[in-house]
Every structure is written in structure tokens, then in C-alpha cells.
Structure 1
């Protein structure tokens, strides 16, 4: 079994105060201890998950010159396609062994934000690709909203504290393809050890082993979810907001054993971001004598900009 605790979102939405409290305590405790949980009872149907993987595999199987026309210059890879080896982890020079796509926010009733975010990129060759991507985006965003409501309660905040900050937030759905490995990688892994930038990340049951999480003892443990579960972890923004009460855990995707080098791996994380104005100042109720304030005040937008420079996706 994976060392990652399991929780069921149905407890939180059950209408039963005891089950709701149980979920809040379980997920809060897991995020304080290891920073990861495996969550069932989310809003993605099996059918939608299958459709999305199907469309994603079709996209990455397109000829390289077709994919390349969806790589948009000048937007730091925020929408559309990012080709193989472009992104590297903070502090590393080697590009990760992956290519990926970004679906972004579908802004409602906010012309200012609509102008601020790049447009989603439409794949002409695959009629269902964008439609299925949008539906999955919405269901993952809805799941994340409920998780954040539980975490607000755990942090002693009002239940709907995060709602206004995540409405039309700068969230990203990122289908990733790790192609077969054809030669001994020089220092490169599928995804080098990193923490996520955002509030929380929801990872759809990654196809194949490889995801590993670093626990408090500095040991790497395999993070394996059941097919019906989402792996959810704390990102740096939430860690910062909670003065490190909730832990943003370092994780990585290791290369498979040599006999599996010839296989592709697909993974689809959803990075839940707030709007850029959200203050990430450490919450007053997470600061005391034993837990002095660890971080200077900053907004989500400023923090994201800093990190995209560090990742090599935009120029400083």
C-alpha cells in the first residue's frame, strides 16, 4: 500500500456534521504530516477520465510539426503546447523528460481577467479535445473548491474563505506525456524533485508508477492512488499562507526500470491557483511564539511571476 492517507469527499458533502468534521480532520492532519492525500468521492466520472486520457493520447501522438504549431511564443507556456525538455525544476539545468499541454481558466463575468489571461488554444485536428478538456477542468475545479473549504475550516477560517479568491482563478489543467526513454538520460529524470507553486494540486490517477513523495524523515515513498482516486497535495502558496502549518511536499517522477523504458507515461495534474490579487500573507492564527512568521507578505501574482522565472518559462 502507498504510505499516503486516503480520504473520501463524500464525507464532507454528506450533510452529516460528524462526517464533515471527520473529513476536515483527516485531510488537515494528512496535509500537516505528509502534504499528500488520495481522495475518492470527487466530481470526475470514470467516463470523463477515460475520454480525457483518450483525447490526450491522440494529441501527443500527432506529428511533431502539427503539435509545434500549438506552441505559442511569448506567454511562458501558459496555454497550448510546450515541447519536450523545455521546462526544468528550480535549481536544475537539465530539462525534464516530458512534453505537455495547458488548458486554462474559462473566465465568467470578468472582462478584466479575461483580458489578463491568455486565450485557450483550440486543436483543430481533434474535435472533442477542447470540449473534454473543459469539462474535466470544471469538475476538478469544483472538487478543489470543496477541498479548500475543508482546509479553511481546519485553519480556523470561515468555510468559504477561499471561494472569492479561486473564482476565475489562474488554474491550469496540464496533461503530460513522458515519452519512451530511448537512451541513458544524462542527469535528467521525467520530473525532477520540486514543490508545486499553487494552492493545491489534484493529480488524476497517474498511469504507471513513478510519483514519489519525500516524507519528514527525508525518505522517498511511492505515491500510488487507486484508479478512482485523485492524489492531492499542498502547493507553496497554501504552505506560505498557513505559515508552513500545511506542508508543501517535495515530490518527483522517477524514470522507470530499464525494461519499461519503451513505454509512455501519461499524467494529468490540475494546479489550483487563485486570482493574482490574493494576499499570501501568513494567516494571523497560524503565527504564535512557537511558530514565528516565516515569510514576507506577497500576492499570488507576484509569487507566481517569481517562480516562472526560476523555472525558465519566462525571462526575468
Structure 2
């Protein structure tokens, strides 16, 4: 397999039960076998994508002192700006060669989760930045909810099983800037090998080489999407909840060839998290004699805290 399977969400959204089941089968088997797919037919239109990338480039081009003004202490990097090299993969000391921004969940004031989520940070210099970011967040969240519905059916659950966990979930939209590489990196790459924390990740900007996925034989495969596709992968929370039936796959973003060191790379992952009180216990129908229970019970909030400590974003 040189690349990752491609699926079309319009099959799932169609009124044809056979097309809907085809999508469930395709994404289910892909997530059991390699944990990644490329997805067409999502809810982001070309104009929104173009405008979002324009706003992201404008933000990361701001002076460093301006960006540092949006780095909010005490919240583990969950909103606003996170500066270059601050995050590292679990088990590594070297910081990744990237800077990024976080948009978080938008909930009504009377939501039970309103006090749990920090406010989103407004960028004064760019009047469209937050408007466009919110729209992209909501379209990716909408896409993700349909993907989770397909996975629920694949797992033998009610189609809407994940809705109550995902709709006000602690999801994060993370525009990332990998700046030009100016000196030989010492044991550091743009994003070291890691698994994602969350339920699923929806990634914009996987065109061209850079993102690599590790298959079950330990080989690194280039995950290259078409311009109209998102790359979607299983996170550790969903893998844990399904007792590893759905695979959270190790992936990385490698440095480009030396002749491309002078170029920036931008990508925009949407990390789809559940609400913090979701129990990540192994689903009963994912446990049998051949697949005994592999994980102890934990809530999504507890698991997230542990992982943010591992990443260096929260100091114990």
C-alpha cells in the first residue's frame, strides 16, 4: 500500500442504503487496518479553505512580539498562540519545529461545559481571523460527527452514539506553521512520531510529501491527499474505547529535502475530542476471548490531562 484509502462522505449522506453501507464498510476496514483515510465530500468549501489559509499566513507573519502577546499562561496551550519548539512528542526532549494557534469549542453560556472551556483569543490585528477560524471549526466538527456516526454503525452501536459526546466536545482547531529550516536541525523534525490524543483527527493541508504513517509492518508510508480531501485518522481515545479494534496509528511530519528548507509548510488539523466526562471504558462488544480488555477505565478529561503533561504543555 503506497498511500491511504480514499472514501467519499457523500456516499454516507446519500439516501441509498447500499452507498451508505459501502462508506461504513470502507472507513471501518481502513481504520481497523491502518487507521487513516483520505475523505472527499466534506463540508469545507474551496472559498473557506482559501480564506482560512490566507488568515493563517497573515497571523504567522506578524512580528514575534505581537504573537507572544497571544500566548496565554496557565491553560496548557489550549487557546491562542503556542510558540516555536514548545511542544514535543511523548518521550522526546527535542521540541517540534513548529508554532501553532488553537481555536477551541464554542458553547452557549448556559452549557454545563461553559465554565470548563477557556475563551477563544481574539486577534486584534486581523479582523477576519477569528470569524473564518470559527466557520472552519464548525464545518470540520460537522464533518467529524458524520464520520463518527459511520464508525458507530461499524462498531454495532446506535448510529448517534457519539453525538452526545462530540457535539460540545473539547475539540481543538490547530493551524500550524512549520517555518523555513535555516540550520541543520539537531535530532528534531517538524513533528516527531506520535499518536493523537483524541477520538479522530481531521487534517487539512496534507497535499505534497511530509506527513508519513507507520503501517503494521513498521514501514513509513507517505500520506498524500488530493486538494479536495481531508486526511482523517483514529486517535488514542477512540482506539482505547474500542479496545484497539480501531487503530490509532503512529505518524510524523518529516523535514523536507534540503532544497526545500527555505519554504514554510502550513497544515490545519482538527482534533475532535469528546466532552471531559465521557468514560473511555472499553466497549463490551469490542472485548472477546481473542481480544481481552486492554485498558482500565478513565474519563476523557483525565486522559487529556495526562497527555498534555507528556507533551510538555502542562508542567506538573
> TM bucket by the smaller chain?
over 0.9
- Conservation of the 8 A alpha-carbon contact between 1:207 and 1:266: no
Q: Which residue of 1 aligns with 2:64?
A: 64
Could you tell me how far 1:2 is from its partner in structure 2? 4.8
Alignment-derived partner of residue 78 in structure 1: 78
Q: After superposition, what is the alpha-carbon deviation per residue over 1:122-144, rounded to whole angstroms, capped at 9, x for unaligned?
A: 00000000000000000000000
For residues 136-215 of structure 1, what are the structure 2 equivalents within 5 Å?
A: 136-215=136-215
Query: 8 Å contact 2:89–2:194 — kept in the other structure?
Result: yes
Aligned residues: 316
Matched with 1:131 is 131
Displacement, 1:24?
0.1
Using the TM superposition, give the Cα deviation of residue 207 of structure 1 relative to its aligned residue in structure 2, in angstroms: 4.9
What's the CA shift string for 1:250-306, capped at 9, x where partnerless?
000000000000000000000000000001000000000000000001110010011
1:143-190 alpha-carbon deviations (Å, 9 max, x no partner): 000000000000000000000011210000000000000000000000
The structure 1 segments of at least 4 consecutive aligned residues displaced by more than 3 Å after TM superposition are: 109-112
Cross-structure match for 2:283: 283
Aligned match of 1:24: 24
Contact 2:195–2:248 (8 Å) recurs in 1 = yes
Aligned-residue CA RMSD in angstroms?
A: 0.9
Cα distance, 1:112 vs structure 2? 3.2
Gaps of 5+ in 1: none
Aligned to 1:301, the other structure's residue is in SS state: helix
User: In the alignment, which residue of structure 2 is the partner of 1:54?
Assistant: 54
Q: Look up the match of 1:15.
A: 15
Aligned equivalent of 1:264: 264
Displacement after TM superposition at 1:208 (Å): 3.6
TM-score normalized by the length of structure 2: 0.99
Contact 1:199-1:235 at 8 Å conserved across structures: yes
Q: Distance in 2 between matches of 1:68 and 1:122?
A: 13
Structure 2 CA distance for partners of 1:79 and 1:122, relative to 1, 3 Å: same
In structure 1, distance between residues paired with 2:83 and 2:155: 39
Q: Name structure 2 gaps, 5 residues minimum.
A: none
Query: In the aligned structure 2, how far is the partner of 1:26 from the partner of 1:32?
Result: 10
Question: 2:6 touches 2:38 (CA, 8 Å); kept in 1?
Answer: yes
**What TM-score, normalized by structure 1, do the two folds share?**
0.99
| CA apart distance, 1:113 | 1.1
Given that residues 207 and 224 in structure 2 are in contact (C-alpha distance below 8 angstroms), is that contact kept between their aligned partners in structure 1?
no
Cα distance per residue 1:227-257 (max 9 Å; x no partner): 1000000000000000000000000000000
Q: Distance in 2 between matches of 1:221 and 1:131?
A: 36
Give 1:203 deviation, angstroms.
Answer: 0.2
